[in-house]
Amino acid sequence: MISGSEIKDILYEVVKSDPVLGVIPEIAKDVHAPVKEGSAGERVVIVLPGGVDNGQFSRSFPRVCIYVPDCVSAGSTTLAGSTTGTYYRPDGARLKAIENHCIERFRSSVYGSRNGNVYLFGIDEIETEDDPETWSHFLNMRLRFETVNTKL
Enter the DSSP assignment of 106: H
Percent of the chain with pLDDT over 90: 55
- Domain tally, the chain: 1
CB 14 within 8 A of CB 46: no
Average predicted confidence (pLDDT) for the chain? 87
State how far the Cα of 75 lies from the Cα of 108, in Å rounded to an integer: 44
Q: 3-class DSSP state for residue 20?
A: coil
Q: How many CB atoms lie within 10 A of CB 13?
A: 13
Is 80 exceeded by the pLDDT of residue 67? yes
State how far the Cα of 52 lies from the Cα of 40, in Å rounded to an integer: 32
State which residues form the domain around 93.
4-148
CB 60 within 8 A of CB 53: yes
Q: 73: pLDDT confidence band, cut at 50, 70 and 90?
A: confident
Mean pLDDT across the stretch 70-84? Answer: 65
| Selected residue with higher pLDDT from 77 and 50 | 50
pLDDT of residue 74: 67
State how far the Cα of 49 lies from the Cα of 73, in Å rounded to an integer: 34
Q: What is the pTM of this model?
A: 0.85
Q: What is the pLDDT of residues 11-44, one digit of tens each?
A: 999 999 999 999 999 999 999 888 988 888 999 9
> Looking at residue 101, which CATH number applies to its domain?
3.30.2000
